[in-house]
Amino acid sequence: MYKQDNDKLYRYLFQNRAVRGEWVRLNDTFTETLNTHHYPIAVQNLLGEMLVATSLLTATMKFEGTITVQIQGDGPLKLAVVNGNEQQQLRALARVEGEVAETATLHEMIGNGVLVISIIPTDGERYQGVIGLDKPTIRECLEDYFMRSEQLQTHLVIRTGEYEGTAVAGGMLLQIMPDGTGTPEDFEHLATLTETVKDEELFGLTAEELLYRLYHEEHVQVYEPQNTEFKCGCSRERSGNAILLLPTEEIEEMLAEKNGVIDMQCECCGTQYFFDKKAIEEFKEEADKLNQLGL
Ligand SMILES: [Zn+2]
């Protein structure tokens, strides 16, 4: 059954405590990300956690732009990357080489690795933070990141699992207001309440029910929710331009090998794009035209 607050992100404010909060649940957003892939379960869960983290992070942005959360390592999971924007459009991708056990920990998957957070405003300067993966979970690494980069006490809940037989990921963020009016005692009190959230509450309740369950003695001001969705930014044009980056001889060889049609599959969403010689020539003409115009 489709629940009212599936694929939603809520922001709220604890009015008497100068602490803000966010809650997100990713249903279709998460399962559509996994659709075209057969990731080991531990990788699937990690991607769910990264999707939640990216969603919560982009919701703290005060500008339009994208955030990329990326893990690189030397273990069987070579790369895991999630991309999100201020409209809560998210996508994720993992590259696995070798076996990943069902119960593999973050470090068993990654080996020696880092977590890279790139914040790319539509207008303005990019920011990149590199975090050592020296804690057992993404959640703890990110709490550390907020403390170091923004000097803001932040508490995160990030969980993945199943609800009524379908994969789901959810999370909460609690952050002391940047204006310095919140006290550590108030923050700790709310963090303790937040930490009591059960999986079935996070995955099954509406926002209203959940916030009441956790904070019924608090004054919580809740803002209009945002929808979250899986959205890949790929296009025929981008794939065509990627082919043009190859040397001409290589394109010729590929065409010969593949009966005159090169197929490009998007790693992220699985969409296939087909190009024959004529289509590639058209892309080339278009690119030459733009080059001549100095674009
Ligand atoms: Zn795609």
Report the separation in Å between the CA atom of 231 and the middle of ligand 1, taken as the mean of its atom positions: 8
pLDDT at 35: 81
Average pLDDT value for residue range 15-35: 94
Report the separation in Å between the CA atom of 92 and the middle of ligand 1, taken as the mean of its atom positions: 10
Report the separation in Å between the CA atom of 270 and the middle of ligand 1, taken as the mean of its atom positions: 6
Report the separation in Å between the CA atom of 265 and the middle of ligand 1, taken as the mean of its atom positions: 8
Report the separation in Å between the CA atom of 182 and the middle of ligand 1, taken as the mean of its atom positions: 43
Report the separation in Å between the CA atom of 289 and the middle of ligand 1, taken as the mean of its atom positions: 26
Q: What average pLDDT does the structure give for the chain?
A: 92
Beta strands in 49-97 (DSSP E): 65-73, 77-85, 89-96
Report the separation in Å between the CA atom of 262 and the middle of ligand 1, taken as the mean of its atom positions: 17
Instruction: Give the helix ranges, DSSP H, for the chain.
Output: 28-34, 41-59, 106-110, 138-149, 184-195, 199-204, 207-215, 236-244, 248-257, 277-292
Sequence length of the chain is 295
% of the chain surpassing 90 pLDDT = 75
Q: Measured between alpha carbons, how far is residue 126 from residues 56, 82, 145 in Å? A: 19, 17, 17
pTM, to two decimals: 0.89
Q: Taking every pair of C-alpha atoms in the chain, what is the biggest distance, in angstroms?
A: 70
Is 60 exceeded by the pLDDT of residue 2?
no
Q: What is the pLDDT of residues 73-131, one digit of tens each?
A: 999 999 999 999 999 999 999 999 999 999 999 999 999 999 999 999 999 899 999 98
Average pLDDT value for residue range 134-146: 90
Report the C-alpha gap between 285 and 271 in whole angstroms: 25
Report the separation in Å between the CA atom of 17 and the middle of ligand 1, taken as the mean of its atom positions: 43
Report the separation in Å between the CA atom of 8 and the middle of ligand 1, taken as the mean of its atom positions: 22
Is 90 exceeded by the pLDDT of residue 294?
no
Report the C-alpha gap between 230 and 265 in whole angstroms: 17
Distant-in-sequence, close-in-space partners of 206: CB < 8 Å, separation ≥ 6: 3, 4, 5
Report the separation in Å between the CA atom of 187 and the middle of ligand 1, taken as the mean of its atom positions: 41
Report the separation in Å between the CA atom of 52 and the middle of ligand 1, taken as the mean of its atom positions: 20
Report the separation in Å between the CA atom of 27 and the middle of ligand 1, taken as the mean of its atom positions: 19
Report the separation in Å between the CA atom of 221 and the middle of ligand 1, taken as the mean of its atom positions: 37
pLDDT at 295: 61
Report the C-alpha gap between 30 and 28 in whole angstroms: 5
Long-range contacts of 216-219 (CB under 8 A, 24+ apart): 218/14, 218/16, 218/17, 218/190, 219/14, 219/15, 219/16
Opening angle at CA 6, ends 162 and 118, nearest 5? 85
Q: What is the pLDDT of residues 211-239, one digit of tens each?
A: 999 999 999 999 999 999 999 888 998 89
Report the separation in Å between the CA atom of 138 and the middle of ligand 1, taken as the mean of its atom positions: 26
Instruction: Decide: helix, strand or coil at residue 272.
Output: strand
Backbone angles phi, psi at 250, to 5 degrees: -65, -40
Q: What is the pLDDT of residues 258-291, one digit of tens each?
A: 889 999 988 888 889 999 999 999 988 888 888 8
